Amino acid sequence: MPILLDHQLREQIPQDLLDFPAAFYCDELAGLPDRAGPMHWHPYLEIATAQSGVLDYQVGQEHALLEPGDSILVNQNILHGIRQVSGGAPDPLPIVVFSGTLVAPENSAIFQKYIRPILSCSALPFVVFRREDGRWDGVRQQIGAAYDALRQRPDCYELTVQRSLCGVLETVYRNLDALPKSEASRVQLNTQVRLQKMLSYIYRHYTETVTLAEIAGAANISRSEAGRCFQAYLRCSPMEALIRYRLQVARRLLQETTLTLQEISFACGFHSVNYFSRQFRARYGCSPGEKRNSG
């Protein structure tokens, strides 16, 4: 099941999640350029586990390296992205995205007492469960049980998922005071909000002619401040981020459609096929035609 992003870089959670608030993904890195996903966010908790390679999980401005067997819990509404940094084949990377209401309704005493403190802890953007840390043996077993149940969907799988993820959150709650904290400054929080607004603009308007002033205007800031925001999180300029996203879309269209190179070029906001081809080669080391022919 692919991770889809809407125009605001929030994950498009499958319709099924409205009936049962947990969604499962796997093998996402195999379909992503350079085995790296774009920065995005969603109003849900996320758990992922490195299987065979080393993963760089960027959460906000922090980076957590996951060795095979390590898992991570990402809090809701936090910018995050994934990149595989080692391993010969794409890491299968099982991911479960779920709502805290899986445990109990939002207006319940259980949610307010045990789940809300985790969701509202701005100093806890993520928790890493290291394989070699015995404290998390039970958590890793519960995560594995949730993956298996969501993948195979046996009878009563929803109860298994609910029980397993409830156990994970219970352990996090019990260790909340002892977990490493990283309180974001007001400047960092403002930067994230501004970046979200500018990324949203890019995702809505990438097919059009987009200027730096328009990207900065989406967050009501100057062009120089826009540049600082992108450098802080993405290590690139706003216009470079725009081109990267256009190329990601183009690569997907090359793989999934029979559109001509000119049609793909225009559909992705490149109004010159030659310029599109040069940018594609610079990014991926081959021409668009070679990428299509190689599958």
Using alpha carbons, select from 133, 128, 125 the residue that is nearest to residue 62.
125
Q: What is the spatial distance between Cα 229 and Cα 195, in angstroms, rounded to a whole number?
A: 6
**For the residues 258-262, what does the mean pLDDT come to?**
92
Percent with pLDDT over 90 in the chain? 71
- What's residue 4's pLDDT? 41
**For the residues 122-146, what does the mean pLDDT come to?**
95
Element (H, E) at 177: none
**For the residues 242-264, what does the mean pLDDT come to?**
91
- What's residue 84's pLDDT? 96
Using alpha carbons, select from 236, 267, 240, 239 the residue that is nearest to residue 251.
267
**Does the pLDDT value for residue 170 go beyond 80?**
yes
Give the SS3 label for residue 55: strand
Query: What's phi and psi for 216, nearest 5 deg?
Result: -65, -35
CA 141 from centroid of its chain's CA atoms: 23
**Does the pLDDT value for residue 183 go beyond 80?**
no
The burial of 187, by beta-carbon neighbours within 10 Å (0-12 exposed, 13-18 middle, 19 or more buried), is given as exposed
Q: Confidence class of residue 142 from pLDDT cuts 50, 70 and 90?
A: very high
Using alpha carbons, select from 68, 24, 67, 17 the residue that is nearest to residue 46.
24
* Sequence-ordered alpha helix ranges (H) in the chain: 16-19, 109-110, 116-119, 137-152, 157-174, 186-205, 212-217, 223-234, 238-256, 261-267, 273-284, 288-294
Question: What is the β-pairing status of strands 80-86 and 54-59?
Answer: antiparallel
Average pLDDT, the chain: 90
Q: Confidence class of residue 17 from pLDDT cuts 50, 70 and 90?
A: low
**For the residues 222-243, what does the mean pLDDT come to?**
94
Q: What is the spatial distance between Cα 127 and Cα 146, in angstroms, rounded to a whole number?
A: 18
Q: Confidence class of residue 157 from pLDDT cuts 50, 70 and 90?
A: very high
pLDDT tens-digit map of 61-78: 899 999 999 999 999 988
**Does the pLDDT value for residue 5 go beyond 60?**
no
Q: What is the spatial distance between Cα 126 and Cα 182, in angstroms, rounded to a whole number?
A: 9
- What's residue 202's pLDDT? 93
CATH ID of 16-174, from 1.20.140.10, 3.40.190.170, 2.60.120.280, 1.10.40.30? 2.60.120.280
Domain assignments of the chain as residue spans, ordered by start: 16-174, 186-294
- Angle at alpha carbon of residue 72, lines to 196 and 240, rounded to 5°: 35
Q: What is 186-294's CATH topology?
A: Arc Repressor Mutant, subunit A (1.10.10)
pLDDT tens-digit map of 203-227: 899 999 999 999 999 999 999 999 9
- What's residue 7's pLDDT? 40
Q: Confidence class of residue 293 from pLDDT cuts 50, 70 and 90?
A: confident
Of residues 184 and 268, more confidently modeled: 268
**For the residues 81-94, what does the mean pLDDT come to?**
93
Using alpha carbons, select from 98, 130, 128, 133 the residue that is nearest to residue 115.
98
- Angle at alpha carbon of residue 5, lines to 236 and 209, rounded to 5°: 55
Q: Confidence class of residue 13 from pLDDT cuts 50, 70 and 90?
A: low
CB 292 within 8 A of CB 254: yes
pLDDT tens-digit map of 23-75: 999 988 887 778 888 888 888 999 999 999 999 999 988 999 999 999 999 99
Residue 64 forms beta bridges with which residues? Answer: 57
**Does the pLDDT value for residue 243 go beyond 60?**
yes
Look at 24-38, 121-135, 193-207, 245-259 and tell me which has the smallest mean pLDDT. 24-38
Torsion angle in degrees (nearest 10) through CA of 199, 203, 207, 208:
-40
- What's residue 34's pLDDT? 80
Q: Classify each residue of 12-38 as buried b or exposed e, where b means 16 or more C-beta atoms within 10 Å of its C-beta.
A: ebeeebeeebbbbbbebbeebbebbbb
Query: What's phi and psi for 189, nearest 5 deg?
Result: -65, -45
Q: What is the spatial distance between Cα 23 and Cα 166, in angstroms, rounded to a whole number?
A: 15
**For the residues 156-168, what does the mean pLDDT come to?**
97
**Does the pLDDT value for residue 10 go beyond 60?**
no
